Structure 1
Amino acid sequence: MDFTFTEEQQAAVEAARAVFGGVVPDAVPSPALTAGAVAEDFDRALWARLADADLLSLLLDAKYGGAGLDAIALCLVLRESAKVLARVPLLESSAAAATVQAYGGERLKAELLARTGRGEVVLSVAANGRTGHDPAELAVTARRDGAAWLLDGVQTAVPWAQNADFILVPAHTDADRTVLALVPRVHEGVGLGEQISTTGERLGELRLESTRIDARDVIDADGAWEWLRELLATGTCALALGLGEGVLGMTSAYAGRREQFGFPIATFQAVAVQAADRYIDLRAMEATLWQAAWRISAGSTEGAGGPLPVSGDVAVAKIWASEGVRRVVQTAQHLHGGFGADVEYPLHRYHAWAKQLELSLGPAAAHEEALGDLLAAHPLG
């Protein structure tokens, strides 16, 4: 079996490297010991360059100006973005647009997708990589009211909510179903509270009070929320992998030039063993990421690749990403010595982003329990 990436996927990586090559991770002030956000908005200039490189429309069909690629291509680009801590809502906007394309109505797709691919409309999602599978756990409820849906609830920690044009909100209905409502940021019954993430970026507390959304802007299709949830989680794993690779590269460069007793510390066995362990973590993160991305790209949450649902592969990827990114950054801080504790050194920003990714993915133990339940329900062999 050929596991190499396709020419189109490799072209997306090359385009991403060209765009992100000019991003300097330490150009943004450190979030440590400060009360406010590092910036009021995301990097609009970088967003425009991503649009010019057709990287905002990777998952969209050609009729919407896209490349028609899959989740693997998106994860490849997200991996490159995380190496430089790119401050853009690439995952959220791409995942929301792909969900609208796969499950939304024709009117919604025609009005939204091409503009999103050009970067004119920015989307976010009121969910994260650790959101559970039970619809009753969702913070927002929805009830039908004629030709509209009424939304109520408070969703915290919505990424880029202050700057997105629309937020795709999963909501629990009386029929024990999940719908996805496309909520304008400025709309009657919509409120946004200020929150700050571990990274120092702005988050939004989305407050919905009998917010009326036209039924044509609500996705009520089987599998839509499940597909979006798994894509967001897998994309978050891709961000963790890219960040970890960036940190390990930074650590290798430092260990190669930092000398003790007349020798680079990279030549010491204790240092080499720790770096090797973290390299193994990254390779495990990578292997499980591509398995999950491939299952999502297969187009079904069940059956493709075996009896275990795609959520099982995503759970494995989250286990490795959540634990792995933490171990990589902790080792980096240890091997950097005093620089590892310096909040003005670029490694500190990577640590803050790694912690935010770990929190977004949730604890590995919870994913191990979920995986155990799936294995019990879908016995192998």
Structure 2
Amino acid sequence: MDFTFTEEQQAAVEAARAVFSGVAPDGVPSPALTAGAVADDIDRALWGRLAAADLLGLVVGPEHGGAGLEPIALCLVLRESARVLARVPLLETGAVAAAVQRFGASGTASRLLPRVGRGEVVLTAGSSGRTGHDPAELAVTAHRKPGDGAWLLDGVQTAVPWGQCADLIAVPAHAEDGRAVIALVSRSRDGVTLAGQVSTSGELLAEVRLDGVRIDDVDVIDAEGAWEWLRDLLTTGTCALALGLGERVLSMTSEYTGKREQFGFPIATFQAVAVQAADRYIDLRAMEATLWQAAWRLGAPTAPGGTVGGPLPVSGDVAVAKIWASDGVRRVVQTAQHLHGGFGADTDYALHRYHAWAKQLELSLGPAAAHEEALGDLLAAHPLG
């Protein structure tokens, strides 16, 4: 089996590294030292550079001015963005654009996707539900309005990333027959109320309340499996962020332990230090392998829940990626803090920011034990033998 990335995917990585080369998390205040969010907007200058490098349209089809690449390319760029803690909704915009490309009506795609690629539209998605613990699609109801075919939305989505800054919010909702739909809601719509929230990493979130919000039929994605696919892509992209962050943290730890001396020798030469670093390297390689498996399955031209590409539905591969990413990113930053000693808690050093982001990613992914249980249920329902 050939695991080599394509030339187009490698070109996307090189372009991303060039754009992110001037971004550094050093000097950003600790969330614990600020009264609110560390910033009240995304990094607009960086967003413009991403658009100029054609990185916002990676998953947009060529007919809409994009590169037409699969989720693997998006995850590769997300991995690079996490190395510098880039303050941009690259995951949410890329994932929602991919869902519109794959499941949206042709009119919606032609109207929206070219503007996404040019950086003119910022997208985000509500995937946390009412409390962060219930299915997101159950937190909002969607009813067709008699007479004109429009939809009325009522409900709440909490912890929406950069909800105050996005032009459109992809809101999952359940229709009267129980199926899940995705509504593309402008934050300026009548009936939309946003309340500020702050994540563990200090980034800006929003609680989005919908009170009889009217949405035209063209702005609702009503394709079977669309929400499940978007949800899995958002989760897989979060695993990519965890991988990029973890790799940068392990690199910082290697640099520090190679310079820090005890008893006349760098502490990296001590067996206890080397073994811990080696264990975290293994974590990262497992995170990487399971990430690419999930991303590849999501890009396969099959219906969500299908078994092409493996004996289990795509959600099985996503569950495995979540298991490794959730536990792995936590272990990496904990080991980094331990090996840095007191220096790791210095707010003038960037490690504390990576630790806060890692905790937010871990909380977003959920506990590994829950994903192991879900994987067990899938295995029971789809015997491998």
**TM-score greater than 0.5 by the shorter chain:** yes
In the alignment, is the contact (CA less than 8 A) between 1:251 and 1:335 conserved in 2? yes
Structure 2 residue 177 is the aligned partner of structure 1 residue 179: no
In the alignment, is the contact (CA less than 8 A) between 2:124 and 2:168 conserved in 1? yes
Deviation by residue 1:181-229 (Cα, 9 ceiling, x = unmatched): 0000111000000100011111000000011111111111101011101
Structure 2 residue 350 is the aligned partner of structure 1 residue 338: no
Between the aligned partners of 2:242 and 2:197, the Cα distance in structure 1 is: 22
- State the partner residue of 1:203: 205
TM-superposed deviation, 1:340? 1.8
Between the aligned partners of 2:132 and 2:220, the Cα distance in structure 1 is: 20
Deviation by residue 1:271-291 (Cα, 9 ceiling, x = unmatched): 000000000000000000000
**2:318 equivalent among 304, 314, 321:** 314
* Amino acid in structure 2 at the alignment position of 1:370: A
- State the partner residue of 1:348: 352
Between the aligned partners of 1:163 and 1:27, the Cα distance in structure 2 is: 23
Superposed, which structure 2 residues align to 1:128-167 within 5 Å?
138-146=138-146, 147-167=149-169
- State the partner residue of 1:360: 364
Q: 1:133 to 1:325 in 2, by over 3 A?
A: same
Superposed, which structure 2 residues align to 1:281-320 within 5 Å?
281-300=283-302, 301=304, 302-320=306-324
TM-superposed deviation, 1:304? 1.6
Between the aligned partners of 1:126 and 1:77, the Cα distance in structure 2 is: 22
Deviation by residue 1:96-134 (Cα, 9 ceiling, x = unmatched): 111111111122111100001110000000115997896
Instruction: Let me know the Cα RMSD of the aligned residues.
Output: 1.5
In the alignment, is the contact (CA less than 8 A) between 1:32 and 1:343 conserved in 2? no
SS at match of 1:203: strand
Superposed, which structure 2 residues align to 1:40-79 within 5 Å?
40-79=40-79
Structure 2 residue 94 is the aligned partner of structure 1 residue 94: yes
Between the aligned partners of 1:307 and 1:177, the Cα distance in structure 2 is: 25
Between the aligned partners of 1:380 and 1:133, the Cα distance in structure 2 is: 29
Determine what percentage of the aligned residue pairs are the same residue.
75
Deviation by residue 1:247-282 (Cα, 9 ceiling, x = unmatched): 000000000001111111001110000000000000
In the alignment, is the contact (CA less than 8 A) between 1:192 and 1:207 conserved in 2? yes
Between the aligned partners of 2:132 and 2:39, the Cα distance in structure 1 is: 27
- State the partner residue of 2:262: 260
* Amino acid in structure 1 at the alignment position of 2:346: D
Q: 1:131 to 1:292 in 2, by over 3 A?
A: farther
**2:217 equivalent among 192, 215, 218:** 215
- Structure 1 spans left out of the alignment, 5+ residues: none
Between the aligned partners of 1:354 and 1:24, the Cα distance in structure 2 is: 16
Deviation by residue 1:136-175 (Cα, 9 ceiling, x = unmatched): x621111111321111111110001010000000001221
- State the partner residue of 2:29: 29
TM-superposed deviation, 1:34? 2.3
Between the aligned partners of 1:289 and 1:14, the Cα distance in structure 2 is: 20
Between the aligned partners of 2:247 and 2:61, the Cα distance in structure 1 is: 31
Q: Report which stretch shifted further, 122-131 or 24-33.
A: 122-131
Between the aligned partners of 2:367 and 2:231, the Cα distance in structure 1 is: 17
TM-superposed deviation, 1:308? 0.5
Structure 2 residue 341 is the aligned partner of structure 1 residue 324: no
* Amino acid in structure 1 at the alignment position of 2:111: E
In the alignment, is the contact (CA less than 8 A) between 2:27 and 2:348 conserved in 1? no
Structure 2 residue 81 is the aligned partner of structure 1 residue 81: yes
Structure 2 residue 281 is the aligned partner of structure 1 residue 274: no
- State the partner residue of 1:242: 244
Between the aligned partners of 1:134 and 1:155, the Cα distance in structure 2 is: 10
TM-score (norm 1): 0.97
Between the aligned partners of 2:119 and 2:128, the Cα distance in structure 1 is: 22
Q: Report which stretch shifted further, 82-91 or 340-349.
A: 340-349
Between the aligned partners of 1:199 and 1:134, the Cα distance in structure 2 is: 23
- State the partner residue of 1:192: 194
TM-superposed deviation, 1:32? 1.8
SS at match of 1:141: strand
Structure 1 segments, 4+ long, off by >6 Å, are 129-133
